[in-house]
Amino acid sequence: MKKARLATLWLDGCSGCHMSLLDIDEAIIAVVQRADIVYGPLVDAQEFPVDVDVAIVEGAVSSQDDLEKIKRVRERSRILVALGDCAITGNVPSMRNRFLVKTILERVYVEGADAQKGIPTDGVPTLLKQAIPLQDVVKVDLHVPGCPPSASAILFVLNELLDGRIPDLGTKVRFG
């Protein structure tokens, strides 16, 4: 049977959702027997590939770079999963939303800097006015709440999706 093509993406999140994915421990062996992991922090692929069956996305959309990435991921993936509260609600990254971007950058890079004061411009993605959840910019097929979602919930989701079903998460997950 043809293996599914699985990708993960890390936008504006703390990596905790990816850590929780790794917490499925040895069960990852059974997952990779059924799916090729074609993109993600654990894979040395520079460009998000085409023809992805399942894309699992951690984090909010906070920068122009994030925005372009999530649109590309949506175009190239059959099922897009928002993993964790940051991807679903904005959560921690959206705590900056009540401040102007300029105010935040000056606070961090000018007022808060001991040396080399100045807002960086080279090689730094331009921040959006607000950190926003995935569903504000792309269609999301499945929301998996939690900060982070438990490893058991993530494994359940993976197995259901690889079996060709959209999982019924019921009481298996909760926000926070």
Least separation, in Å, of the C-beta of 15 and ligand SF4? Answer: 7
Residues 24-83 that bind ligand SF4 (CB under 6 A): 58-59
Pairing state of beta strands 61-63 and 35-39?
unpaired
Cis ω before 149 (30° cut-off from 0): no
What is the identity of the amino acid at 146? G
Does 153 interact with ligand SF4 (rule: CB under 6 A)? no
Does 140 interact with ligand SF4 (rule: CB under 6 A)? no
CA separation for the pair 62, 29 (Å, rounded): 33
Tell me which residue of 8, 147, 9, 7 sits closest to 65, measured CA to CA: 9
Does 154 interact with ligand SF4 (rule: CB under 6 A)? no
Least separation, in Å, of the C-beta of 25 and ligand SF4? Answer: 18
Least separation, in Å, of the C-beta of 104 and ligand SF4? Answer: 18
Least separation, in Å, of the C-beta of 7 and ligand SF4? Answer: 17
Does 90 interact with ligand SF4 (rule: CB under 6 A)? no
Q: Which residues contact 33 (CB under 8 A, 6 or more apart)?
A: none
Does 84 interact with ligand SF4 (rule: CB under 6 A)? yes
Q: For residue 36, which phi and psi values (nearest 5 degrees)?
A: -90, 130
- Which positions touch ligand SF4 (CB under 6 A)? 13-14, 16-17, 58-59, 84-86, 91-92, 147-148
